[in-house]
Amino acid sequence: MSLVRALAARVPPIGRLVADRDTLRQRLAAMQASAGSPFVHYNAAFDPLEAIHRHALPTPEPHPDYQTNFLGVRIDPKFVPHILAGRAGTVDHLPIPANWHADIAEFGAALRAVDLAKHRFTVIELGCGWGCWITITGVAARRAGLDVHLIGVEGDPGHILFAREATAANGFDPGQVELHHGIAAATAGTALFPRQAEAGASWGLEPIFGATDAQRAEAQRANSHDVLPMLPLDQLAEAHARIDLLHVDIQGGEASLIAGSLPILNDKIAYLLIGTHSRAIEGALFDTLLAAGWRLEIERPAIMTLSPAGPTVTVDGVQGWRNMRLLPD
């Protein structure tokens, strides 16, 4: 497909484009510059580039202690030191096709959830790390005039502290933020989460779900894992009539969590943004959510490298799902 045809497939009707030629030129230039990137190979039923440009600040103001992204979100370089060291005081570029954090598909899906919310924006991020997506979507929703409530679940205690710092640095008061030190799961129970010497050193730690007494005893003896509660989604959402965005990035547990949480998903979750960790997980999510009446609005498959040892996922995939019960056409 040519760049012009590819662009035409992702832009609004021509009447709107005539009124915004500068945006069209910028987006065409961005696609030309990134034509060889795997991050332009997404499928979407809406226009994520338009959403990114519309939410972007014309001139984000830098802060000497933080890197600032295109939405004006302030990010402490200590959160991701191997990438952001030395970038305090800088402003990051638009994620077209991607920046250090995420790509068109993930930012587009997150902002889509903000655009579909009315009056209030409540977001739950499972595996919230430094609070990245609750903070990013919270800032965008606040600027759109919505009442914001942010909920994060994270297994690393240092990352929980990062999330608290990030939300405060971006102007959210404690009453707007709810952080849980635990592991997201379809059912209650006990999980083990690996300890790391320094928060921010690793972002791909995987929990052990449903830990046995013997596993817990060994983890405590070796001082290798924290023993944490498994937090079901219905418990996290109990106090809220509706969750406008659920962001799920739990290191390979996505398919089982979604399949085991369908009743609460169908009842309360308006939009799902899922980071996928294999093609098998992507297929399982298709089967589960399509059969349950959800609409896939955007997806970019996981990016793999091939070797004699087999395929390896190098970048998580992205899926954005719309709950047609709560968000009908």
CATH of the domain at 82: 3.40.50.150
* 274 is a domain residue: yes
CA-nearest of 69, 10, 4 to 41 is 10
Instruction: Give how many domains the chain has, as a whole number.
Output: 1
Tokens coding 122: 């409540």
**For residue 143, what pLDDT is reported?**
98
Do 137 and 129 touch, CB atoms closer than 8 A? no
**What phi, psi does 112 have (nearest 5°)?**
-60, -45
Considering the entire predicted model, what is its pTM?
Answer: 0.85
Range of the domain at 198: 44-323
Euclidean distance between CA atoms 213 and 218, whole angstroms: 9
* 104 is a domain residue: yes
**For residue 189, what pLDDT is reported?**
87
**For residue 3, what pLDDT is reported?**
34
**For residue 205, what pLDDT is reported?**
66
CA-nearest of 93, 96, 166, 85 to 132 is 166
* 176 is a domain residue: yes
Euclidean distance between CA atoms 326 and 329, whole angstroms: 10
* 37 is a domain residue: no
Q: Which amino acid is at 171?
A: G
pLDDT in tens, the chain (329 residues): 333 333 334 444 333 333 454 554 555 555 545 567 999 999 999 999 999 999 999 999 999 999 999 999 999 999 999 999 999 999 999 999 999 999 999 999 999 999 999 999 999 999 999 999 999 999 999 999 999 999 999 988 999 999 999 999 999 999 999 999 998 888 898 888 777 666 655 555 677 777 777 887 887 788 778 888 889 999 999 999 999 999 998 877 788 899 999 999 999 999 999 999 889 999 999 999 999 999 999 999 999 898 898 888 899 999 999 999 999 99
* 307 is a domain residue: yes
**For residue 214, what pLDDT is reported?**
82
* Residues in the chain, total: 329
* 13 is a domain residue: no
* 328 is a domain residue: no
With H, G, I as helix, E, B as strand and everything else as coil, classify residue 189.
strand
* 208 is a domain residue: yes
The single residue listed with the structure tokens 């338009």 is 50
